[in-house]
Structure 1
Amino acid sequence: MNISLKNVSFSYSDSLDDAILKNLNLEIRSGECVVLAGESGCGKTTISKLINGLIPHYHSGTMDGDVLLGDKNTADMTLAEISRTVGSVFQNPRSQFFNIDTDCELAFGCENMGMDPEEIKRRVANVVQEFHLEHLLGRSIFNLSGGEKQKIACASVSATGPEIFVLDEPSANLDLKTIADLKEIVARWKKAGKTVVVVEHRLYYLRDVADRICYVKDGQIAHEWTPAELEAKGAAYASSLGLRCMNLGMLSERAEPHQPNNVIASEAKQSITFDNLTFCYHRKHPILDIDRLELPCGQITALIGHNGAGKSTLAQVLCGLQGSWRQKRAARKRGTYLIMQDVNHQLFTESVLDEVLLGMKPQDENLALEILDGLNLKQYADNHPMALSGGQKQRVAIGSGISSGCDVVVFDEPTSGLDYRQMLAVSATLKKLAASGKTLLVITHDPEFILNSCQSVIRMEHGKIVEQYPLSGNEKQLVKTMTENYRDCN
């Protein structure tokens, strides 16, 4: 089904003077896969909400122009009608869950459309096989990792069989093996004649699937390329536009020997050591079973591993949010700060500036503004945090962690939803934090971020620590480890 955006302007306020989209025109042909790329906050997600009808039927604002699905204007359709044509996977998968277990969630969309029970069973069985979800059946939604939740969201939408798929940052919390699975699903949708629109910062997994990459800037489509055309322009050109790596093969070429932080190296600080660390939910099999973990002080350490390896659970235990291990949980909470994978859980105030000031003792507005400036957020100081884009919210939460004054700061996927330029800004801020003597643990599936930021790497699988090494001199080992399960990465 064709999608047409004709002279569309939109503002989330009551005036088009501050419109995020300005007289935008975009034609997407039936069966085409189009990627919307661009820097955080440029309006990519707003375009996706125009296509799936959330604008104007759910989000208030001021709009001019037309959005057509085939020959129908979305303004003349109900959300129920649009949802039968357009299936959406949002940036935060939890926002579209309606059940507490995976089996019911996979069937919910089909049930909501009144399908025959036998047809629902057939469709659910198909998506379980296509998405390799056998190990997630019968699970509580609340006990899934972020990547596992994203897979369930994609599969539940796929089961309803829409003509158009709109995906907003679907790879944000996925490991590279799962991203390879996602690539296959998008390719399968395209082969079946479906129209696919993907809002993404990670471009490499779509280079063999996408027909076009549309670059959004200043509320308009500023550039259009085929993946081959953008890749041919080189990494420096993409980086200048705030775009991520187009080909994972480039990571090995760019993996230059890592230079340790001079302050860290000269001080030769010791490690924080954890022995015999175990944890399980509801007396079931252990999620964590760690003999020994050494976290280097005054460094940025990357914690890597597949989805469901136990990384986020480890972060919660270390910060006193789970379990009663050794040191009292209250003491651990005072000394550590966790920036969650879903930052919506930890944004509390009425302004971005107040959010950064909230945990700062004593409060220092000048320092808070300096932190925001380093994260490219100073211009949003008076904005409400929940009015920001996903990537901007992520950086606000990072700012709060920096201002907390805690000695240990744990970041759970801090670069999900960030473009290349913003990733580098976060990297620079974390380096300054580590240089001041703070100990940083970063859970991430982002090899570009690790190569730019970290001094050491810890790899977890099945709740155990299977590898730990300094990054300097081992850059190519890291790239190989993180890409070995990604098919066609070169």
Structure 2
Amino acid sequence: MTRAAVQLDHASFHYATGREGLHETTLALPAGQVVVLCGASGCGKTTLTRLINGLAPQYFPGALTGTVTVGGTDTRNADIAALAKQVGSVFQNPNTQFFTMNVRDELAFACENFAMPPDEIRARVESTARRFHLEGLLDRPLADMSGGQLQRVACAAVSTTNPGILVLDEPTSNLDATAIAALRAIVATWKSEGRTIVIAEHRLAWLDGLVDTAILLDGGRIARVFSREEWQRLTDAERRSFGLRPLTLQQLRDDCERKEHTPLHAPVHATEHATPAAVDTGRIIAHVDTGRMPAAVDTASTSTPIDAGHTSVCGEPLAPETTLVRGATPAYHVRGFRYRYPHARRDSLDIAALDLPCGAVTTIVGLNSAGKSTFARCLQGLDRRCKGTLITPDGVRLQARQRLDVCTTVLQDVNRELFTESVLAEVMLSQPHENEQAALNVLDSLGLRECADRHPLSLSGGQKQRVAIAAAIASERPVIIVDEPTSGLDLHHMHEVSQLIRGLARRGRTIVAVTHDPEFAFEVSDYVAHIVNGRLADWYPLASPGSAGKLFDALVPHIA
């Protein structure tokens, strides 16, 4: 009989805040298996991982009843340091587990804590860096890395001490297709070495063929346990009834291909700028004017109409596919965007021209570190070192400071933009004029009304994401930039966010969505901009022939 790496016997856990995380759970996870924990956001997946690695109740206060045994050790009688020798953890937000300033030091950190000899530490760091393709990044500051790179560093850092059990919480939430394929290879290697891998995950297709046991949780309880064979036999209809995303790459492709897509906006003449409209998404009422200008801009001195015959920017010809037909659709026009990080030898971003149609969703895709998030920061004007300008539908040129009044961003790491003591206050902070009822309506439309009085940082990752989106809606700015808006979201809330974004675009907002999520991209995209090494490699309407295949290949890992 296969020994159990992890055992729970009638285990229940209530957080000190009063929230129940897990209820009366009895479970045995065999050693050497890949176990996937799935279910809706808040179902108990993260709580279960915290019980395995000892963070609950030792770091997250609460009441634990029953027993949790890891590698034969009762977690109630072991501190976190002792459990860390047996269990390696990768959190949903890797920034919360870093202790050093650069990659090399982070890989060495756990080994140093276990007092390994210096020569052994160096050997383990170099070996791990090769396995995770981090050789060229060992001296890179963590602060300069993308979300996907940080996730890869986190996975590598827990591998240096060779723990027998590895716990991963939403490990692919910020990874591109190439990185996901690399992570799959690492998981396969860990499995071949006899390690036990527990993965809490919403995106499931990348694990096709690796899963030995799947555990579906609902409301803090185990709803069903699937064997490898039962998991592989699940039909599309069955997995949808469980609220799960596609389990295989073929299901994922089928889901994407069946999504019918119609552009959100109707073409209008260039002189017929979109008029102010009421955006009614659920119970959201917000004034939107696609041509609205910041009050600080002197249109008399800065307004420069777009020359219909203009064919170059910064001396470079405009690619035909990057510029909309003049007179067809009002748009915001990116012109001559260039950005170079300090001490870099070349521009990290160099986009001569890109049009962002009003009342539509333009999806920005590309690998990690391609320049997508850099483009988003420059578009909003968050970094004044960015060269170039944004031209409004009315022909007004906006420099970085002025763009702050037109654009708002939902960041990839939403913890960086949550400042207040309650969810309601967070939304009201973004409003141009405080209106509590309007803020409550926004929260209600996103399923957050019951969280109005909770502290934003007490919420789950998916809930925090929705709070940030609610704040962006409440800001009433005409251009909304969303950076990985479905990171950490389950199937239901991914659909909910997609419908909300499409509704906002349909009623006049200009949406720029940076994403690695293929299901989300197929649901919301009107246009796709593919960035490679900081350059615009491709731009196309999703409805055009052959575009669906290009988008799928850009976002879905190629797994042998």
Q: What does the per-residue CA deviation read over 1:309-367, in whole Å, with 9 as the maximum and x for residues that have no partner?
A: 01111111111111343443321111111111110011111221221121112233333
Q: Which amino acid in the other structure matches residue 558 of structure 2?
A: Y
The residue number in structure 1 matching 2:258 is: 256
Shifted more, 253-262 versus 353-362: the winner is 253-262
SS in 2 for 1:9: strand
CA contact (8 A) 1:411 1:442 kept: yes
1:274 aligns with 2:274: no
Q: What is the deviation of 1:298?
A: 1.4
Q: Which amino acid in the other structure matches residue 499 of structure 2?
A: A
Q: What is the deviation of 1:261?
A: 4.4
Q: What does the per-residue CA deviation read over 1:109-157, in whole Å, with 9 as the maximum and x for residues that have no partner?
A: 1111111111112211221111111232221111100000000110011
- 1:456-475 matches, within 5 Å, as 456-473=527-544, 474-475=547-548
Q: What is the deviation of 1:263?
A: 4.4
- 1:6-405 matches, within 5 Å, as 6-13=9-16, 18-226=19-227, 228-254=229-255, 255-256=257-258, 258-265=260-267, 269-284=329-344, 285-324=346-385, 325=387, 326=389, 327-405=398-476
Q: TM-score, normalised to structure 1's length?
A: 0.95
State how far apart, in whole Å, the 2-side matches of 1:99 and 1:49 are.
23
Larger C-alpha radius of gyration, 1 or 2? 2
The residue number in structure 2 matching 1:486 is: 558
User: Does the C-alpha gap of structure 1 residues 470 and 231 become closer, same or farther in structure 2, counting only changes over 3 Å?
Assistant: farther
SS in 2 for 1:67: strand
Of 515, 518, 522, the residue aligned with 1:444 is 515
SS in 2 for 1:353: helix
Q: What does the per-residue CA deviation read over 1:207-239, in whole Å, with 9 as the maximum and x for residues that have no partner?
A: 211211101102111012245533533223222
CA contact (8 A) 2:164 2:195 kept: yes
Q: Which amino acid in the other structure matches residue 176 of structure 1?
A: A
Shifted more, 93-102 versus 367-376: the winner is 367-376
1:477 aligns with 2:550: yes
User: Does the C-alpha gap of structure 1 residues 4 and 265 become closer, same or farther in structure 2, counting only changes over 3 Å?
Assistant: farther
CA contact (8 A) 2:211 2:228 kept: yes
Q: Which amino acid in the other structure matches residue 7 of structure 1?
A: H
CA contact (8 A) 2:366 2:554 kept: no
The residue number in structure 1 matching 2:310 is: none
Q: Which amino acid in the other structure matches residue 503 of structure 2?
A: K
SS in 1 for 2:356: strand
SS in 2 for 1:208: coil
Q: Which amino acid in the other structure matches residue 298 of structure 1?
A: G
Q: Which amino acid in the other structure matches residue 258 of structure 2?
A: E
CA contact (8 A) 2:530 2:539 kept: yes
SS in 1 for 2:104: helix
CA contact (8 A) 1:264 1:435 kept: no
Q: TM-score, normalised to structure 2's length?
A: 0.84
State how far apart, in whole Å, the 2-side matches of 1:227 and 1:249 are.
18
Q: What does the per-residue CA deviation read over 1:271-307, in whole Å, with 9 as the maximum and x for residues that have no partner?
A: 2112221111114121101121221221111100001
Structure 1 residues without counterparts, runs of 5 or longer:
none
State how far apart, in whole Å, the 1-side matches of 2:203 and 2:228 are.
12
User: Does the C-alpha gap of structure 1 residues 162 and 214 become closer, same or farther in structure 2, counting only changes over 3 Å?
Assistant: same
CA contact (8 A) 1:257 1:475 kept: no
State how far apart, in whole Å, the 1-side matches of 2:194 and 2:517 are.
31
The residue number in structure 1 matching 2:487 is: 416
SS in 1 for 2:480: strand
State how far apart, in whole Å, the 2-side matches of 1:356 and 1:334 are.
17
Q: What is the deviation of 1:31?
A: 1.0
RMSD, matched Cα = 1.7
Structure 2 residues without counterparts, runs of 5 or longer:
269-273, 275-327, 390-397
* Off by >4 Å, runs of 4+ in structure 1: 261-268
State how far apart, in whole Å, the 1-side matches of 2:259 and 2:461 are.
32
State how far apart, in whole Å, the 1-side matches of 2:32 and 2:144 are.
36
Q: What does the per-residue CA deviation read over 1:454-481, in whole Å, with 9 as the maximum and x for residues that have no partner?
A: 1111100101010000011422331133
State how far apart, in whole Å, the 2-side matches of 1:265 and 1:41 are.
42
State how far apart, in whole Å, the 2-side matches of 1:179 and 1:449 are.
17
State how far apart, in whole Å, the 1-side matches of 2:114 and 2:486 are.
36
Q: What is the deviation of 1:453?
A: 1.2
Q: What does the per-residue CA deviation read over 1:9-67, in whole Å, with 9 as the maximum and x for residues that have no partner?
A: 1111365xx42211112211111111111101111111111111111111111221111
CA contact (8 A) 1:35 1:213 kept: yes
Higher helix share: 1
User: Does the C-alpha gap of structure 1 residues 364 and 260 become closer, same or farther in structure 2, counting only changes over 3 Å?
Assistant: farther
